[in-house]
């Protein structure tokens, strides 16, 4: 099904998942959809492997963690979270050298915590990994000493797709 993209989220400089200057990272781009879900798109690389040809389960976990964690900011960019728990089910191998999509959504939220779910979708539409996560809301200046400035957190110049097929 085709989903309209409402907005692209900002990227970071050095994050292992979204850091545009992290040469070994996943370089994932995050798009907010009209249905309040967040989709990450990334190309898995040979150096993301565990067994040859297969993406490391920890990389899949990182992708799902960040996609669910970022979904909270769809409605409020000022909310940041740290992961308190993450539960994963690895159903099919995620191949290297492949474009994958990661979908995340918020399922529960209160003043202190939020919870969400997500999945990694392979090019043929199959769900490879599912996750649920719980996060504690925290002001960004309590998470890191870095400043939220243009060097660390910015919108890149990549073209934004009008629709994403899921
Ligand atoms: C400035 C530049 C930045 C630019 C950005 C750059 C890169 C970022 C890229 C993208 C960012 C965007 C979004 C990403 C979102 C997520 C992605 C990844 C996030 C991570 O990769 S992040 C790393 C892993 N993660 C941690 O590093 C957490 C380590 N951990 C701790 O830091 C503490 O553990 C903490 C603070 C969580 C709690 O510590 P604490 O001392 O405050 O906790 P305390 O025990 O006092 O609990 C207080 C109240 O929370 C309740 N509570 C606690 N835990 C609970 C649980 N599990 N379930 C249910 N309730 C729970 C208690 O029951 C109590 O409730 P009550 O007050 O009602 O009694």
Q: What is the predicted ipTM? A: 0.86
Q: Is the CB of 140 under 6 A from ligand 1?
A: yes
Per-residue pLDDT reduced to its tens digit, 37-84: 999 999 999 999 999 999 999 999 999 999 999 999 999 999 999 999
Residue nearest to atom 12 of ligand 1 (CA): 70
For the CA of 144, the nearest atom of ligand 1: 1
Q: Which helix (H) or strand (E) holds 67?
A: helix 57-71
CA of 64 to the centre of ligand 1 (A): 16
- Can you give the pTM of this predicted structure? 0.94
Domains of the chain and any CATH numbers? 2-165 (3.10.129.10)
């Amino acid at each position: 099904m085709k989903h309209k993209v409402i907005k692209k989220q900002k990227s970071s400089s050095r994050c292992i998942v979204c850091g545009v200057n992290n040469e070994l990272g996943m370089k994932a781009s995050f798009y907010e959809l009209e249905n309040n879900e967040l989709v990450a798109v990334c190309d898995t690389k040979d150096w993301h492997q565990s067994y040859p040809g297969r993406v490391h389960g920890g990389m899949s976990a990182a992708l799902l963690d960040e996609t669910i964690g970022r979904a909270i900011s769809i409605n409020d960019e000022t909310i940041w979270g740290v992961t308190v728990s993450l539960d994963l089910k690895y159903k099919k191998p995620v191949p290297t050298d492949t474009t994958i999509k990661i979908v995340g959504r918020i399922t529960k939220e209160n003043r202190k915590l939020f919870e969400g779910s997500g999945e990694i979708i392979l090019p043929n539409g199959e769900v490879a990994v599912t996750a649920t996560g719980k996060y504690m809301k925290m002001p960004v200046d309590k998470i890191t000493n870095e400043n939220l400035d243009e060097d660390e957190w910015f919108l890149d110049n990549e073209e934004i797709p009008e629709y994403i097929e899921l």
